[in-house]
Chains A and B, each alone.
Chain A
Amino acid sequence: MNRLLRLGMLIAAALACGTLASAHAKTAHAASPARYSDAGPEPLLARVFEHIEQNRLAAALQEVEALVKAYPNFHLANLIKGDLLLARSRPIQAFGNIANAPQDKLSDLREEAIARLKAYHEKPPANYVPRYLLQMRPDQDYAIVVDTQRSRLYLYQNEKGTPRFVADYYISHGKLGTDKLREGDKKTPIGVYHVTASLSRQKLSDFYGTGAFPISYPNEWDKRHGRNGHGIWLHGTPSDTFSRPPKASDGCVVLANQDLDALSKNLQIGLTPVIISNSIEWLSLDDWQAERGSLKKQIEQWRSDWESLDVERYLDHYSKKFIGDGMNQAQWSTRKRLVAGGKSWIKLSAENISMLRNPGKDDMVVVTFDQDYRSNNLSNVMKKRQYWQKEDGQWKIVYEGAG
């Protein structure tokens, strides 16, 4: 019986970190049961490992066989099946017991197992939302939030302004991690993007699976910081592969084909936000309301200050670091003061506001809206994008341009 126990311990040890939930998530988790959909292989996979940890290897084998049947190209399931079968004929030494196994592939599969189980066991609590989705436009039906550390993509539906969880999927990201900077650095960008196109599978090689959705990397902020490269997509997997290791792509976000197909039904080209983070920050709905309320107020203040014709009050909303339309803050101020001289009245409306927080330490929010500007000598309607950043506790505009 020793070897059976040993197998259980080996795999349990490999996954030990999988059971350590962050205190934050755990408390909230206990308070309200998660309502997460159990689509995908994780529930079965979790059961397999539960059986292994309890040393019920026959049951584990049965479950893993069901798993392989449901997902024939699921490499991880096949590896576990191999171990469980081999355990019946001889002692098991490690996770993935094949002689001369390519170690990099084994460790990839181990990583995948950990990522999947962790995501399954530490689902975000139901009454929490990603901090990034401060406000979606009314016509933005869905939003995507990616957590690269968890290898997870979360799909949210816009329910009258409140993000409601729909589904989460295992994903792979860049081989060399995140914070993309240069073309070819095999990293996934971190930031607020949106889906810009849909490429059908007929136009793609098998490598991209059932489809691809390019996203808007590099965005205004990326360009300003000299980040380059292009062709960051959400896409599927080759036909002989159910899923790829957590860190596998050249920077793209890769989903299982069935997940991409499910996801693609909800994507609006040019509209659906894709926010990629290293590690999602979750807010309770109360905190989320407070955060969006304070920024919304600032945007409204900016709008009414512009209308007020008091140009200094208006300019006070702009950061010293501001850059927009090729002007820095000083140039922008000069121009605005000049223009203000000729105005007898301004009517400004900002509709369909979306406020999407940029992941990371910057404390920055990407605000997009339909701007309807009327005045005595000029009117125009445009889609506007602003980047608001908190400076000394005050929201300031650091970028402004057409959206």
Chain B
Amino acid sequence: MTARRFPLRATFATLAIAAVASFAPLAQADTLQDISKLLKQGQQAQALERTDKYLATKPKDAQGRFLKGLILTEMNRTPEAIAVFTKLTEDFPELPEPYNNLAVIYAQQKQYDKAKQALEMAIRTHPSYATAHENLGDIYARMASQAYDKALQIDSSNASAQTKLAMIRDLMSASSRPTPGKPVAATAATTAVVAPAAIEIKPVEAKPEAKAEAKPAAVKPVAAPAATPVPAAAPAAAAVAAESKPAPASTSGDIEKTLEAWAAAWSKKNVKVYLAHYAKDFQTPGGEPRATWESERSKRITKPGKIEVNIGNLSVTAEGAERATARFRQNYRSASLKTSSNKVLVLVRQDGKWLIQQERVGK
């Protein structure tokens, strides 16, 4: 039962994302899809063999390695799975999924501190990554339960602990299914059409479990990113959304230019110009000090190898003349990684210039 406590479902969902991010030509991508089908059918040994073959030709491939990690996890070859996911976090620190899966494994081993650390890293890279937030909440609850046991000198294997686990299972299954009414497939398709032609994006319509970020950008802004999940903040955010109006053409145009310059600076690895796009009061994703965030961004951006960033499907919502929210598809491609994700930027106008005040991944 231990293995069921944590959402392996979540790992499949991330696999779908990894598929989107893959560099692989169609034929090879199909191979990985075939392998994950094998895995779903429980043919783990075969899946592992084919993954190893695949990785023999593409040893650095993130998607292949991720899949291998999943297979090893299911085979209970835990140390190997940990090694695979750990290496992935080192090679692709910007991907939240390997961190999340590491956390799931650590949690199964009751190493809650390590699990928490991994999830915090996942959230740091993607502040609105819902699965990581949910898992982190679960980890906190488990750590709390451990602490209570110690405090009150009671046994954790009592009845109350068991009811609690069942509740957590419910929470997980609810969250890993798409909420009714979210036109997931349709949005993904739109994204694919509107995205710049230069980048191949594989639509995710085949995977209903795909991350909630596939939600159309125009629906409503999410709650401000927080280090901890704060469900209570959602209604406030919705109220803000109701007041906002579509942006006047001039604002839209200005912001589009700003964001193009931002993406260009990023692509050119011009850190100074890139950072100049952020407002003085920019809210760093993990709440870390500005200097820490800047140095981390600078380190990432100046990593060797070509970077290409462009944006598509931009929609701008103005909130007065000085503040606007931009939602778009961000296509990122570096030597080792290709991703396409939905981005939300909150921009403010200061001294006639639009500057980024908040940046997050998501709806």
**A76 within 8 Å of B (CB atoms):** yes
Closest chain B CB from A52 CB (angstroms): 15
The stretch from B17-25, B144-152, B188-196 touching chain A is B144-152
Q: Would you call A75 and B152 a contact (CB within 8 A)?
A: yes
Q: Which of B125-148 contact A (CB under 8 A)?
A: 136-138, 140-141, 143-148
User: Given A85-B143, A88-B140, are A99 and B163 also a contact pair (CB < 8 Å)?
Assistant: yes
**Smallest CB–CB gap between B88 and chain A, Å?**
26
The number of residues on chain B lying at the interface, defined by a beta carbon within 8 Å of a beta carbon of chain A, is: 27
Cβ of A100 < 8 Å from any Cβ of B? yes
User: Is A99's CB under 8 angstroms from B232's CB?
Assistant: no
Q: With A and B bound together, what is the CA distance between A109 and B146 in angstroms? A: 17
Kindly count the residue-residue contacts between A and B in the assembled complex, taking CB atoms under 8 Å apart.
85
- Tell me if B137 and A90 are in contact (CB < 8 A): yes
- Sorted from nearest, which 9 A-B pairs have the closest CB atoms? A89-B137, A82-B147, A79-B151, A85-B144, A86-B144, A78-B151, A78-B150, A88-B140, A82-B148
B227 surroundings in chain A (CB, below 8 A): 58
- Whether B41 sits at the interface, judged by CB under 8 Å, is no
B164 part of interface (Cβ distance < 8 Å): yes
- Is the pair B228, A88 in contact by a Cβ cutoff of 8 Å? yes
Stretch at the interface among B153-161, B315-323, B339-347: B153-161
Distance (Å) between the CB of B131 and the closest chain A CB? 14
If A89-B136, A89-B141, A105-B152 are given as contacts, then 16 extra A-B residue pairs at C-beta distance below 8 Å, sorted by A number, are A58-B227, A75-B151, A77-B151, A79-B148, A81-B151, A82-B144, A82-B148, A82-B151, A84-B144, A88-B137, A88-B228, A88-B229, A90-B141, A96-B151, A98-B152, A102-B154
Known: A86-B144, A89-B140, A90-B141. A102 touches B152 (CB 8 A): yes
Q: Once the chains are docked, how many angstroms separate the CA of A89 from the CA of B164?
A: 13
Q: Nearest-CB distance from B170 to chain A (Å)?
A: 13
**29 A/B residue pairs, CB under 8 Å, sorted by A:** A1-B232, A58-B228, A68-B147, A73-B150, A75-B152, A75-B153, A76-B151, A78-B147, A79-B147, A79-B151, A79-B152, A81-B151, A82-B144, A82-B145, A82-B151, A85-B140, A85-B144, A86-B144, A88-B137, A89-B137, A89-B140, A90-B137, A98-B145, A99-B160, A99-B163, A101-B152, A106-B152, A109-B151, A240-B153
Please, what's the 1-or-0 string for A42-81, where 1 marks a CB less than 8 Å from any CB in chain B?
0000000000000000100000000010000101111101
- Which residue of chain A lies nearest to B159 when distances are taken between CB atoms in the complex? A100
Q: Complex: how many Å from CA A156 to CA B164?
A: 50
Residues of A within 8 A of B233 (CB): 1
B230 close to A (CB within 8 Å): yes
Residue of A nearest to B146 (CB): A82
Q: Verify B229–A89 contact, CB threshold 8 A.
A: yes
Interface residues of B (CB under 8 A from A): 136-138, 140-141, 143-148, 150-154, 158-160, 163-164, 227-230, 232-233
Chain B nearest CB from A3 CB (Å) reads 7
A207 CB → nearest B CB, Å = 14
Is residue A83 contacting chain B, with contact meaning CB distance below 8 A?
yes
**A96-B148 in contact (CB<8A):** yes
How many interface residues does chain A have, given as a range? 20 to 34
* Interface of B (DSSP majority class): helix
Q: Which residues of A contact B152 (CB under 8 A)?
A: 75, 79, 96, 98, 101-102, 105-106, 109
A83 touches B144 (CB 8 A): yes
Q: B-facing mask of A327-370, CB < 8 A → 1, else 0?
A: 00000000000000000000000000000000000000000000
A22 at the interface (CB under 8 A from B): no
- Give the dominant DSSP class at A's interface: helix
Q: For the complex, give the distance between the alpha carbons of A69 and B144 in Å.
A: 15
Q: Known: A75-B153, A85-B143. Contact between A98 and B148, CB under 8 A? A: yes
Give CA–CA (A2, B150) in the complex, Å.
Answer: 28
Give chain B residues whose Cβ lies under 8 Å from the Cβ of A2.
232
Interface pair A1/B230, CB less than 8 Å apart: yes
In the bound complex, do residue B232 and residue A85 qualify as a contact, i.e. CB atoms below 8 Å apart?
Answer: no
For the complex, what is the distance from the CA of A226 to the CA of B18, rounded to whole Å?
A: 83
**Bound complex: CA A333 to CA B153 (Å):** 62
Q: Is the CB of A88 within 8 A of B148?
A: no
Supposing A1-B233, A75-B153 touch, asked if A99 and B164 sit within 8 A by C-beta, the answer is: yes
Set of chain A residues within 8 Å of B143, measured between Cβ atoms: 81-82, 85
- Say whether, besides A1-B232, A3-B232, A85-B143, A101 and B137 are in contact (CB < 8 Å): no
Q: Establish whether residues B160 and A85, one from each chain, have CB atoms under 8 Å apart when the complex forms.
A: no
Interface centre among A68, A90, A98, A240 (most CB of B within 10 A): A98
Contacts of A98 in B (CB 8 A): 144-145, 148, 152, 160
Residues of B near A3 (CB, < 8 A) are 232
Residues of A within 8 A of B151 (CB): 75-79, 81-82, 96, 109
Contact with B along A275-302 (1 / 0, CB 8 A): 0000000000000000000000000000
